[in-house]
Structure 1
Amino acid sequence: MSTNLRDTADQQRITRLRATLTTDFEAQTARLTELTADTGDPGEAHTRSALIAATRQSLAQIGDALRRMAEGGYGTCERCAAPIPVERLEVLPQARFCVPCQQKHG
């Protein structure tokens, strides 16, 4: 495969991943809005608090991935600077690390 065709295919994958991340960001934002609405049920406060924290973390990770895309650093491991395989990004689009670095540093 020529470099241009590979680059085009990579760009198409990145475009699809960006769309996925944007959709996920919008869904998580809507979820956070719902979770932060006061239901008045004190029995749900702890569970709701945990869900809010998890949703905020997810939003931060997605936002970071979108920022890396905009800045040109998306798909590069933040620890070793190796390319993150596209297959990993397709499963976990907000991945910051390659699998070996993720396993080493948990």
Structure 2
Amino acid sequence: MPPDTSRTDPRAGRLTADDARRRLEHARSSRVAQLRALDEGGRTAADHLLATQAEAIGKVLKEIDEAFARVDDGSYGTCLGCSKPVPVERLEILPYTRYCVGCQSRATA
């Protein structure tokens, strides 16, 4: 089944800025809800696992904010590693990603 291109810019095969913002807002609100749930769960300073989860969520929120900046400056959807377009399917799943799959695997290796 071919991908739904109604959400993409047909000229560039990229998500539109509005769609990218909607996906990023959803990702942000999900992470904020996760942080609230951790806080409401009675987390203590000694609970290392929950503290680690909260830290990881905070890092993702920072990445989401950086993705909003890329939308604003027009560089959203361009891999920071190779400067090629990040496939729209990847952006639909992980809207705050900075890299294509190849560059991401090299960045984490």
What TM-score do you get using the length of structure 1 for normalisation?
Answer: 0.75
Bigger helix fraction: 1
Which segments of 5 or more consecutive residues in structure 2 lack a partner in the other structure?
1-8
Of 69-78 and 15-24, more deviation after overlay is shown by 15-24
CA distance in structure 2 between the partners assigned to 1:32 and 1:100 by the alignment: 30
Alignment match, 1:95: 97
Residue 86 of structure 1, aligned match among 76, 85, 88: 88
Q: Please list every run of at least 4 consecutive aligned residues from structure 1 whose deviation after the TM superposition is greater than 3 angstroms.
A: 7-12, 40-43
Q: Which has the larger radius of gyration?
A: 1
Aligned pairs (5 A) from 1:1-106:
6-7=10-11, 10=14, 12=16, 14-36=17-39, 39=42, 45-106=47-108
Identity %: 31
CA distance in structure 2 between the partners assigned to 1:40 and 1:90 by the alignment: 32
How many residues align? The count is 100
CA RMSD of aligned residues (A): 2.6
Which segments of 5 or more consecutive residues in structure 1 lack a partner in the other structure?
none
For residue 6 of structure 1, report the CA deviation from its aligned partner. 1.8
